[in-house]
Amino acid sequence: MNPKIWVDSFNWKYEAYPFFTSVYTLSSTEKANKYESQWRHFVNQFKNKQLDAYVPKEELLGEGRLVISELLHGDETFLAIFKIYYQQVEDLIELCQTSWKNKNFVSIWSVIHCTLSNASKILFGFDYGLDEYFFKLQTDEPKLFEVLHANITEKKPSFLNLAQDNLIGLVDKYPKNFSAAYQDFVAKYGWIQNSYKGSFIITQDWLWQYYLKIKNYQKVKNQSKRKLPKRYQSLVNAASLAVSFRDDKKKLLLLVVEIMDRWLDDVCRQYKFHKQEMLWLTVDEVLKIIYEKENSFLLAAKKYAELGGRWGIMNPIGYNDIPQKLWLDVVKANKTKGGIKEFSGTIGNGGCVRGRAHIIFDAKNNNKFFNEGEILVTSMTRPEFLPLMSKALAFVTNEGGLTCHAAIVTREMNKPCVIGTKIATQVLKDGNLVEVDGDNGVVRILKK
């Protein structure tokens, strides 16, 4: 396989194990319609509990550009299909949420697998096409960009905001009994800090510290909508729906992680497997061990755990290992040239500040090392980043656009943010003095 395929790629980095990310392995299968993207060359490394992945840009952008072109011409065929995929996610959330503590995972695995993979295929192509469109628009037509930006809003409160409101309400309900508030909260939202690394056990002490961080958090009122030219109405409607779609997809993932983790614990107890080894396998590989007696995967799991790494690619026939050398060649093909003093991205929120950069990929384990007033630099933010974001002076991300988590939170907090820079975590180093110019979507390195 030629590493030149990945010369111009999108790159993701976040905490993860193969077991939990395998909910997306069907994203490489054939497209069901012209709006889905097919992740034929999603190449990745799992190492030190982190996922590092590349996918060629054109593999996602083609469908996104098609969607935007149709929406700008008033064709809402995509929007109708988009709503169907979104409804599938909401239906599965309802199923998982009613019994996330004891759901029989195997009985619903195929539904989970299809729903999350299909959501990624329909959502990411549109998202990245939208990011490209707005990145160009903010330079070519800044006033129009501001109008569209102001009109893209979530259709409903995010699940994280609802959980925070619930926690604050419970503390008010039980002013002298935080233990009662804790029990009620965990019964409803015990899954909320899960990640692709697995379930996170919320302790009473952790929840109290979390409460202290969020109790005075005041959501900034959304900026007033501006008169929207008719040509852009369908585009804005789809983008606004994508904000809530993304949020519900994440909610579903966190619920599913809880169910998957509990199931894997049961499997490891029953078959005397080592969980730290099984986490290196996909769900389908674990199922093949159990039901088809393919014990070669047990040996492979042991090898991955000993190496502390796995290198692979998603393709139409499943997930396959690749030589580590191919991975290193892909990384080399995407290496950013040195000497960069300034780079740009999409405007997430305006404002201009200066501060020290702090690169974070693992929000939970590095929370205590992040200082008030630093610039948060990461691949992309997720719900577990919120305590860090509340301390940060500004945010800079590699990925994401106006519908992503960082863009929504930064507007709520009214902090400068530049998203979708592609290279922030490669160019910046911890301690760099940087200027985040959210008004122009530019990050400047002032002192290394």
User: In the structure encoding, which two tokens stand for residue 6, read together?
Assistant: 């990945």
One-letter identity of residue 25: T
Query: Is residue 117 classed exposed, middle or buried when 0-12, 13-18 and 19+ CB atoms within 10 A define those classes?
Result: buried
| C-beta contacts of 360-365 below 8 A and 24+ residues apart | 360/385, 360/388, 361/13, 361/14, 361/15, 361/50, 361/425, 362/15, 362/49, 362/50, 363/15, 363/387, 363/388, 364/193, 364/195, 364/200
pTM: 0.91
**What would the DSSP string read from start to end of 121-181?**
HHHHHHHHHHHHHHHHHHHH-HHHHHHHHHH---SS--HHHHHHHHHHHHHHHSTT-HHHH
**Could you identify the residue written with the tokens 């009613």?**
98
- At residue 380, the pLDDT reads 85
Cα–Cα distance for residue pair 9/333, rounded to 1 Å? 9
Cα–Cα distance for residue pair 245/242, rounded to 1 Å? 5
Residues 6+ away with beta carbon under 8 Å from 163: 185, 189, 192
Can you tell me whether residue 33 is helix, strand or coil? coil
278 with 286: CB under 8 angstroms?
yes
Question: Sign of dihedral through CA atoms 295, 41, 108, 112?
Answer: positive
301 with 264: CB under 8 angstroms?
no
Which run of H or of E encompasses 353? strand 352-359
Which run of H or of E encompasses 359? strand 352-359
Which run of H or of E encompasses 349? strand 346-349
Domains of the chain: residue spans and CATH: 3-153+228-330 (no CATH), 159-214 (no CATH), 342-447 (3.50.30.10)
* 394-397/417-419 β-pairing: parallel
Q: How many residues does the chain have?
A: 448
Cα–Cα distance for residue pair 409/406, rounded to 1 Å? 5
DSSP annotation of 370: P
56 with 40: CB under 8 angstroms?
no
81 with 44: CB under 8 angstroms?
no
Which run of H or of E encompasses 167? helix 159-173
- At residue 388, the pLDDT reads 84
207 with 185: CB under 8 angstroms?
yes
pLDDT in tens, the chain (448 residues): 899 999 989 888 889 999 999 999 999 999 999 999 999 899 999 998 999 999 999 888 999 999 999 999 999 999 999 999 999 999 999 999 876 666 688 999 999 999 999 999 999 999 999 999 999 999 999 999 999 988 988 888 889 889 999 999 999 999 999 999 999 999 999 999 999 999 999 999 999 988 988 887 666 555 566 789 999 999 999 999 999 999 999 999 999 999 999 999 999 999 999 999 999 999 999 999 999 999 999 999 999 999 999 999 987 777 899 999 999 999 999 887 778 899 999 998 899 999 999 999 877 766 778 888 999 999 888 777 878 888 899 999 988 877 777 777 888 888 999 998 988 988 999 999 999 999 999 999 998 8
For residue range 348-369, what is the model confidence (pLDDT) as tens digits?
889 999 999 999 987 776 677 8
- At residue 355, the pLDDT reads 94
* Alpha carbon 63 to chain centroid, angstroms: 20
Cα–Cα distance for residue pair 268/263, rounded to 1 Å? 9
Cα–Cα distance for residue pair 246/158, rounded to 1 Å? 10
* Alpha carbon 384 to chain centroid, angstroms: 11
Residues 6+ away with beta carbon under 8 Å from 172: none
85 with 266: CB under 8 angstroms?
no
129 with 402: CB under 8 angstroms?
no
User: In the structure encoding, which two tokens stand for residue 87, read together?
Assistant: 């409804």
Cα–Cα distance for residue pair 180/174, rounded to 1 Å? 7
User: In the structure encoding, which two tokens stand for residue 184, read together?
Assistant: 């009620």
* Alpha carbon 368 to chain centroid, angstroms: 22
User: Nearest-CA neighbor of 25 among 114, 89, 96?
Assistant: 114
